[in-house]
Chains A and B, each alone.
Chain A
């Protein structure tokens, strides 16, 4: 084929251009560390990487949900432990008071103790976590239990349960309403009363010096104690599940990040080798051009 000067120059130029383009693409890949810089570089990879990013964002958010809700559950758990202790002392007092040789003086003593415990229970019922009443259901801005002027304790929260999402497919309650904990809803069983009425009834029985009436209260006390222990166990199991979910989320995030890296990132060794190759090709193209374009009959000198 006949070769003209323009053809030769155009060819050399297109070799140099394609070498430079490849070199600069390889440079961008190596410097950014990314295999996919634009969506068109790998359409399905882009789709995967976007969806992986969403998953990571969700994983982070679930971990965040847990870190917000777990302290609240732990606060409730602590309060429940104290409640159990309090009810156990009530039970001890009831047993002591039920023995027939209780004198009037010690009865007053028991009643004073019970009053203390009752106040303690009221304080525990209105436990707050970050300005939110833990046992008020979802009405977290109102105290769970209030004592009115006539001496009646009433539940002022609601029975709402706030659920939090801890994994894509799992949501857990982040609270346990006071109506259940303090047995305002009769969850301890039939013929039981709420915790406050229970103490008041016990007080009345002791005041009346009726040992039988006192021991009659024991069933109610036991039922309430069981109820508290059940609540505590449920809280405990939720906290444990959150702990497990936290571990799982951390692991999932690591795996997702690996997958994003697999999808988007370059194999550095390969990229650098490629970069070197294109650098050599570019140099060769330049060298060859500078040699060839200089040769013509016009400037050929015989040695």
Chain B
């Protein structure tokens, strides 16, 4: 038979457990707006069955538990959804980064508009036509030089803008690698801290939430793999190599290659980092593939323009009757395209004439006619430029579409993850009522017990008093 006060202690364990549950509920509500927080649940476990009671069962009465204990505090989460969320995150940030930079690239060209490079090019051809109608006129020759100089400046400016964008991206690589190093070191520290604490307690759970958030942050930067999901220590790898294991973080470093390009390597053995997703993937694609391709297309356009115009110009005769020299500085590319220094202040040296007479416009007409002539791979200069714009527009359109699509799937998984792990005020308040009622009931049992003992102490043994 159990003690007279046994019931009291069972009821008291109930009071304690409900109180504890309400504390955690309060903690959940306090974190209701924290997107990295995962709601926690108190596991209530039955108290140990007393040895005495076990003996009692042998004697014919039932065994009896000692009440309820507040057990582990669990984080409510779904590891599979979290893994998918990380995958969606790295794909979305990859494409979002591409979309963001492609928007800048599109802004550099600002086509279609009345003030883009195409407009300058059209003006350049028109100026040659004007000269053809009036080859003797110095003002028209000067205007042609102005228009040609404007075209050169525009090409140079556009090229420089592209190069600046690529340089900015290159500098960003260093920044991102530092960020990865910081995060991986913090994850390693958290691994150690979590390992030293008791698992499934409120404080430990906090640290694990923090670690999950860091891994998610890391997935924004680069595609990572997490092993030992949710365990005490997590192992993180990038491109098949371990980044963090236990308390050990393998650092990355940036090495400046010849030409200034930053290569990301593992600090310990100098192997190149393999990147398959995340912001860095988008960044490297833009830096190493997209923008260099646009720059080289612009180069082809500029050097073809220079070569073709110069070749025709050299066949002509100037206003002074001398042989035509180069119109553009020979051998120029988009980076340094400019008029030939000899012609800059000497409009009379434009070789418009083919025969030598001042009114002859043969060469001016021929250069104006270049506009419609296939000059490179069966394309005219205008078509070369339009192909570049189409290339940029096409890549940008894909990046925008993909960014939107991946954002949708990221939203989907975020919603799912929050659905499992997020705090619902309504649910917590409903539970609050539940715990409050249980608490009230336990208190009532104590009252009843009290009354019973009161009966025993005060109302019994009064016979003969």
Contact = CB atoms under 8 A, between A and B. Distances in A.
B68 interface: no
B359 A1 contact: no
B377 to A, nearest CB: 17
A57 interface: yes
Interface string A51-89: 101100110111011001100000000000000000000
Interface bracket on A: 35 or more
Contact of B429 (A62, A162, A175, A298): A298
B216 to A, nearest CB: 14
A58 B124 CA distance: 11
Contacts of A174: 133
Given A3-B419, A10-B418, A138-B360, A297 B426 contact: yes
Contacts of B111: 39, 46, 50
B375 to A, nearest CB: 15
A10 B33 CA distance: 10
Interface in A1-40: 1-7, 9-11, 14, 36, 38-40
A215 interface: no
B419 A7 contact: yes
Nearest to B360: A138
Interface stretch (A116-124, A164-172, A197-205): A164-172
B386 A53 contact: no
Contacts of A61: 125-126, 129-130
A62 B422 CA distance: 70
A171 to B, nearest CB: 7
Contacts of B39: 4
Given A36-B112, A57-B123, A2 B393 contact: no
A6 B353 contact: no
A264 B415 CA distance: 39
Given A39-B393, A297-B430, 7 more contacts: A6-B32, A40-B394, A40-B397, A43-B394, A138-B358, A165-B132, A297-B426
16 contacts: A2-B427, A4-B419, A5-B425, A10-B411, A36-B112, A40-B102, A43-B393, A46-B389, A47-B390, A50-B386, A61-B129, A68-B130, A160-B357, A296-B429, A297-B425, A297-B430
A-B CB proximity, top 10 nearest = A4-B422, A39-B393, A140-B359, A7-B418, A40-B396, A57-B122, A138-B357, A138-B359, A297-B429, A40-B397
Interface of A: 1-7, 9-11, 14, 36, 38-41, 43-44, 46-47, 49-51, 53-54, 57-58, 60-62, 64-65, 68-69, 131-132, 136-141, 158, 160, 162-165, 168, 171, 174-175, 264, 296-298
